[in-house]
C-alpha cells in the first residue's frame, strides 16, 4: 500500500490559532536571548510579547470561526466548540499573564521561559478541544500537562512549590498511563483511534464490547485525574496550594476547560452509542465529586485549598451535563467554563493580592475585616464568591441552570436535584468568606498593604466585568455557540 | 509448517523463545517493581525493556523494537540511573522502601491483574494472523504515515519535546 | 504462532507490576520506574493489537504509530520528571514521597 501526500487535505486553518501562539512563544524565547545583565530590557518585554500573542491568537480565532473544517482525514477539527474553547483558554492565559507580571520575577529570574511555556501550555490546551483522534488527544494532553508540572515547580527555592510539582507530576504521569491503556483498548475494540471511526464501528455493532468498555473505563479514569473528579482528585488541593498563585489561577481554569472539552468530545462524538454503559457511572462519579468537593471545602482554612475543593465541586457540576448525554450539554459546559474563567481567576487574583510578600499561602483569617481595611478588594472578592456560589444575576447562575437543564434533558432529573442541593451546600463556604470580610474584625492590624500592581488591577477589572456582564447578558455567547459540537453523522 | 503432527506435539521454536522472553520480563519486572534497592530497580527496568524489545521483534514490529532500544534503554534508563546517582543519599534505604499503603497497593494491583486477565481470556480472539510478506514496505509505509495521516501528532510531538527541553532546563539549571 | 492471549497476559502482568510499584514505593524514582513499566505494558498491547488485529488491516499501522508516540512521550515525561526530582532533592534533601508533607489543609 502506498501512502501519498495529499496536500489538499492539509487544512492549516484548523490549527491557525495554535500556530499563532507557537510563533509568539518562539518570539518570547528569542527576546529572552537578547537580555543581558547589563541590558535586561528584552526580558521585561516578554510578558507583553506573550500578551500580544494571546490577543493575536484571539483575532485569528475570530477570523477562522464560522467554518467547520477537519485536518488530515480527521486528526483535528475546527468547529464552533473548538473556537469557543480557544476563547476560554486564551482568556485564562491572558488573565494568567496579567497576574504574573509582578509576581513571577520575584520567584524565578528566568521569566522568558515562563512566558514561553505558558503560551505552549495554552497551545496544548487548545489542541485538546480540536483533537479528533485519540493519538492527537494524547499528545495534546501531554504537552499541556508536562508544561504545567514545570510551571508548578517554578519556584525552585520553595519547598512547597517543588513538592506540589513532584506530586502533580507523579500522579499526572500515572494517570496518563491509564489514559494510554484506555486508548489502546479502544483501538483494540474498534480497530481505529479516530473518533468518527470509533462511532462508525460501534454504531454498526462491530465493536468488541468487553475491550471497548474496559477502554472507556480507563479513559474516564484518565480524564478524571485531569478534571479532578473524586476519587482521582487527591493532587488538586496540594498543587493548588503549592504552585505559584498565577500558575494556579491559569491552571485551575485552563486544565478544567481543556480536559472537559476533550472529555465531552470523546464521549459525545466517539462513544455516543455506548451511552448506556457510561451514563450511570458518570452520574455516580458526579454525585461523589460534588459531595466530597463541597463538604471538604467547608473545612479548609487555607483560601487556596478552599478554592481547590470548590473547583472539584465545579467539576462535579459540569459532569452532570455530560452524564445527561444530551448534545446541549456540550454547549452548557462551554458557557459554564467561560464564566468560570472570569470568576475563578478573579478569586485567585484577590487571594494573590492578599498574600504577604514572604508567605505563600493566604489563610481564611487573612480575609477577616478586609471590608474595613481594603473595601475595594473585599467588594471584588464578594462578587467572585457570589458568582461561584451561583447567585443570580451573576455569571455562575445561568451557567448552572444550563448544566442542570442538560442533565434533565438526558432524563437524569434526580441528578439535577442532587446538584442543586450540593450548590446550596457550596454557598455556605463562599458566603463564609464574605461574612469574614464584612462582619469579622481584622485578626492582625498590621496586615497592611495588599500586593497590587497595574497589570493585576487590569486583570481584576476584566474578571469582575466578565462575572457581571456575562451573567446579565448571557445571550451573546449562547447564540454564538449553539449546537457547537460537530457530532458524528450530524 | 511442513510437519503438522510434529508441531502439534512439540512447542515450536517461536513458542520456546516467547516463553524465555516472557520469563525474563516477568522476573525482571518484578525486580524493577519490588527490589528494595533503587539501583536494582533500575537494572531490573533495563532488563525488562530489553525483553520487551525482543517481544516486538517476535511480533515483527522491528522499527518499534529498535526505537525501544534506542529511546528507552539509550535515553530513559540512562536518565533514571543518573537521577539515582544524583540523589544518591537515598540509594540504600535506611527505612522501608514501601509506604504505608503497601497492602492496599498489593490488593489493588492484584485485582487489576485478575480483571485484565479475565478480559484477555474471555474475549474470543480471532486466530487468523496475516503473514507479513514485505516488511520493508511496511516500514516505508510507517514513515509515510508520519508525514501524512499522522502529521499533526508528529508536529505536536516536536512541540512536546520543546516543552520538555525548556522545562528541564528551567528546573534543573544551576542558579 | 504464539497466540495473542499470551502476549496480552504478559502485558497485563507488566502493567500490574508497574501499578504496584507506583502505588506502594516511597521513593519518587521508584514510582517513576513503575510508571515506565505501565507505559511499556501499554506498548506491548498496542503492538500485539496491530499484529493480530482483526478490526483493522495491518497496513494501517495505527497500533505501531501509537506505540511509537507512547515511547517518545515516555521519554519527554522521564526528562521532566527527573528534572523535578532533582529540583525537589535540592530543596528538601529527600525524594521520599511520605517525607514530602508540607502541603496539608
pLDDT tens-place string over residues A1-16: 444 555 666 677 788 9
Together in a domain, B12 and B66: yes
* pLDDT at position B29: 96
Q: Which chains touch A (3 or more CB pairs under 8 A)?
A: B, C
Residue B7 contacts C where some CB pair is shorter than 8 Å? no
Residue B157 contacts A where some CB pair is shorter than 8 Å? yes
Please tell me the least confidently modeled range out of A62-76, A102-116, B57-71: A62-76
What is the least distance, in Å, from the CA of B127 to any CA of chain C?
A: 7
Tens place of pLDDT per residue across chain B (175 aa):
455 565 566 778 888 999 999 999 999 999 999 998 888 999 999 999 999 999 999 998 999 999 999 988 888 888 888 888 888 755 555 556 677 778 888 999 999 999 999 988 888 777 667 777 777 888 888 988 888 889 899 999 999 999 999 998 888 776 6
Nearest to B33 among C20, C68, C96 (CB): C20
β-bridge partners, A78: A69
CATH fold for the domain made of C4-93 = Helix Hairpins (1.10.287)
Using one digit for the tens of pLDDT, what is the confidence trace for A411-444?
899 999 999 999 999 999 999 999 988 998 877 6
Number of domains forming the structure of chain B: 2
Together in a domain, B6 and B79: yes
Residue B8 inside a domain? The answer is yes
* pLDDT at position B1: 47
Residue B80 contacts C where some CB pair is shorter than 8 Å? yes
- Tell me which chain B residue has its CA closest to the CA of residue C14: B29
* pLDDT at position A484: 83
Residue A28 inside a domain? The answer is yes
Question: Which grid coordinates belong to C60?
Answer: 494501517
* Separation of alpha carbons C83 and C88, rounded Å: 9
Return the closest-CA partner of residue A303 out of A351, A339, A231, A249.
A351
Residue A243 contacts B where some CB pair is shorter than 8 Å? no
What is the least distance, in Å, from the CA of C66 to any CA of chain A?
A: 6
Number of domains forming the structure of chain A: 1
Give the pLDDT band (50/70/90) at residue A169: very high
* Separation of alpha carbons B142 and B99, rounded Å: 44
Residue B73 inside a domain? The answer is yes
Residue C95 has pLDDT above 50, yes or no: yes
What value of ipTM does the predicted structure carry?
0.96
The full set of domain ranges for chain C reads 4-93
- Tell me which chain A residue has its CA closest to the CA of residue C82: A166
Q: Which domain holds residue B88?
A: 1-92
* pLDDT at position A12: 78
* pLDDT at position A2: 46
Give the pLDDT band (50/70/90) at residue A466: very high
Using one digit for the tens of pLDDT, what is the confidence trace for A371-392?
888 888 899 999 999 999 998 8
Residue A486 inside a domain? The answer is no
Residue A18 inside a domain? The answer is yes
- Torsion of Cα atoms, C86 then C92 then C96 then C101, to 10°: -130
Return the closest-CA partner of residue C29 out of A217, B79, A430, B127.
B79
Residue B13 contacts C where some CB pair is shorter than 8 Å? no
Residue A371 inside a domain? The answer is yes
CATH code, domain with B47: 1.20.120.1200
Q: Which chain A residues are closer than 8 Å to C63 by Cβ? A: 184, 187
Using one digit for the tens of pLDDT, what is the confidence trace for A331-369?
999 999 999 999 999 999 999 888 764 466 777 777 888
Q: Which domain holds residue A336?
A: 9-480
Show which of B65, B92, B119 is a domain's final residue: B92
Residue A185 inside a domain? The answer is yes
Residue A145 inside a domain? The answer is yes
* pLDDT at position A360: 63
Question: Exposed, middle or buried by CB within 10 Å (0-12, 13-18, 19+), for A156?
Answer: buried
Contact A166 C84 (CB under 8 A): yes
- Torsion of Cα atoms, A391 then A396 then A397 then A403, to 10°: -140
Amino acid at each position: 500500500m502506498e501512502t501519498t501526500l495529499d496536500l489538499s487535505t492539509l487544512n492549516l486553518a484548523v490549527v491557525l490559532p495554535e500556530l499563532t501562539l507557537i510563533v509568539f512563544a518562539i518570539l518570547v524565547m528569542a527576546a529572552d536571548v537578547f537580555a543581558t545583565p547589563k541590558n535586561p530590557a528584552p526580558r521585561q518585554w516578554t510578558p507583553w510579547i506573550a500578551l500580544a500573542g494571546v490577543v493575536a491568537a484571539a483575532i485569528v480565532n475570530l477570523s477562522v470561526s464560522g467554518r467547520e473544517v477537519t485536518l488530515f482525514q480527521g486528526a483535528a477539527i475546527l468547529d464552533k466548540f473548538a473556537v469557543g474553547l480557544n476563547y476560554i483558554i486564551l482568556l485564562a492565559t491572558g488573565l494568567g499573564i496579567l497576574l504574573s507580571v509582578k509576581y513571577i520575577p520575584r520567584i524565578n529570574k528566568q521569566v522568558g521561559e515562563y512566558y514561553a511555556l505558558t503560551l505552549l501550555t495554552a497551545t496544548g490546551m487548545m489542541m485538546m478541544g480540536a483533537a479528533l483522534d485519540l493519538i492527537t488527544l494524547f499528545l495534546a494532553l501531554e504537552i499541556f500537562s508536562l508544561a504545567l508540572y514545570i510551571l508548578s515547580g517554578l519556584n525552585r527555592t520553595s519547598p512547597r512549590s517543588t513538592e506540589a510539582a513532584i506530586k502533580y507530576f507523579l500522579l499526572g504521569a500515572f494517570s496518563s498511563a491509564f489514559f494510554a491503556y484506555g486508548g489502546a483498548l479502544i483501538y483494540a475494540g474498534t480497530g481505529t483511534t479516530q473518533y468518527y471511526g470509533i462511532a462508525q464501528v460501534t454504531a454498526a455493532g462491530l465493536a468488541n464490547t468487553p475491550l471497548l468498555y474496559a477502554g472507556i473505563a480507563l479513559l474516564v479514569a484518565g480524564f478524571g485525574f485531569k478534571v479532578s473528579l473524586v476519587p482521582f482528585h487527591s493532587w488538586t488541593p496540594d498543587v493548588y496550594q503549592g504552585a505559584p498563585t498565577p500558575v494556579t489561577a491559569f491552571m485551575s481554569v485552563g486544565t478544567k476547560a481543556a480536559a472537559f472539552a476533550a472529555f465531552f468530545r470523546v464521549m459525545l462524538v466517539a462513544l455516543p452509542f455506548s451511552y448506556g454503559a457510561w451514563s450511570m457511572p458518570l452520574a455516580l462519579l458526579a454525585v461523589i465529586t460534588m459531595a466530597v468537593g463541597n463538604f471538604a471545602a467547608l473545612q479548609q482554612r487555607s483560601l487556596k485549598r478552599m478554592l481547590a475543593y470548590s473547583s472539584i465541586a465545579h467539576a462535579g457540576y459540569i459532569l452532570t451535563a455530560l452524564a445527561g448525554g444530551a448534545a446541549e450539554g456540550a454547549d452548557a459546559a462551554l458557557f459554564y467554563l467561560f464564566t468560570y474563567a472570569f470568576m475563578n481567576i478573579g478569586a485567585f487574583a484577590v487571594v494573590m493580592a492578599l498574600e504577604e510578600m514572604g508567605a505563600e499561602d493566604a489563610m481564611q483569617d487573612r480575609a477577616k475585616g478586609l471590608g474595613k481595611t481594603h473595601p475595594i478588594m473585599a467588594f471584588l472578592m464578594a462578587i467572585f464568591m457570589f458568582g461561584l456560589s451561583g447567585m443570580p444575576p451573576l455569571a455562575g447562575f445561568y451557567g448552572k441552570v444550563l448544566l442542570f437543564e442538560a442533565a434533565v434533558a438526558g432524563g437524569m432529573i434526580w441528578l439535577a436535584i442532587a446538584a442543586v442541593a450540593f450548590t446550596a451546600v457550596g454557598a455556605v463556604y463562599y458566603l463564609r468568606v464574605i461574612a469574614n470580610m464584612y462582619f469579622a474584625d481584622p485578626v492582625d492590624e498590621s496586615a497592611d498593604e495588599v500586593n497590587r500592581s497595574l497589570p493585576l488591577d487590569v486583570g481584576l477589572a476584566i474578571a469582575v466585568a466578565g462575572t457581571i456582564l456575562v451573567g446579565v447578558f448571557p445571550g451573546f455567547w449562547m447564540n454564538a455557540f449553539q449546537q457547537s459540537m460537530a457530532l458524528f453523522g450530524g | 509448517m511442513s510437519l503438522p503432527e510434529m508441531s502439534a506435539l512439540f512447542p515450536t521454536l517461536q513458542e520456546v523463545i516467547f516463553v524465555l522472553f516472557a520469563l525474563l520480563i516477568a522476573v525482571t519486572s518484578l525486580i524493577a517493581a519490588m527490589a528494595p534497592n533503587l539501583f536494582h530497580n533500575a537494572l531490573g527496568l533495563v532488563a525488562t525493556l530489553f525483553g520487551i524489545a525482543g517481544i516486538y521483534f517476535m511480533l515483527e514490529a522491528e522499527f518499534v523494537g529498535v526505537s525501544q532500544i534506542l529511546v528507552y534503554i539509550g535515553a530513559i534508563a540512562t536518565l533514571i540511573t543518573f537521577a539515582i546517582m544524583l540523589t544518591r543519599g537515598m540509594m540504600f534505604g535506611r527505612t522501608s522502601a514501601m509506604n504505608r499503603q503497601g497492602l492496599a497497593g498489593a490488593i489493588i494491583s492484584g485485582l487489576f491483574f485478575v480483571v485484565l486477565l479475565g478480559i484477555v481470556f474471555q474475549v474470543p480472539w480471532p486466530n487468523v494472523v496475516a503473514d507479513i510478506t514485505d516488511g520493508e514496505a511496511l516500514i516505508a509505509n510507517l514513515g509515510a504515515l508520519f508525514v501524512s495521516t499522522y502529521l499533526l501528532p508528529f508536529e505536536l510531538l516536536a512541540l512536546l519535546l520543546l516543552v520538555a527541553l525548556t522545562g528541564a532546563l528551567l528546573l534543573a539549571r544551576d542558579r | 504462532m504464539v497466540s495473542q492471549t499470551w502476549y496480552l497476559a504478559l502485558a497485563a502482568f507488566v502493567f500490574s507490576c508497574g501499578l504496584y510499584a507506583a502505588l506502594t514505593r516511597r521513593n519518587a524514582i521508584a514510582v517513576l520506574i513503575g510508571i515506565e513499566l505501565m507505559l511499556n505494558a501499554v506498548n506491548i498491547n498496542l503492538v500485539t493489537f496491530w499484529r493480530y488485529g482483526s478490526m483493522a488491516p495491518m497496513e494501517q499501522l495505527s497500533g505501531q504509530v501509537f506505540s511509537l508516540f507512547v515511547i517518545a512521550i515516555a521519554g519527554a515525561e522521564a526528562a521532566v520528571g527527573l528534572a523535578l526530582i532533582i529540583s525537589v532533592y535540592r530543596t528538601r534533601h529527600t525524594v521520599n514521597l511520605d517525607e514530602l508533607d508540607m502541603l496539608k489543609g
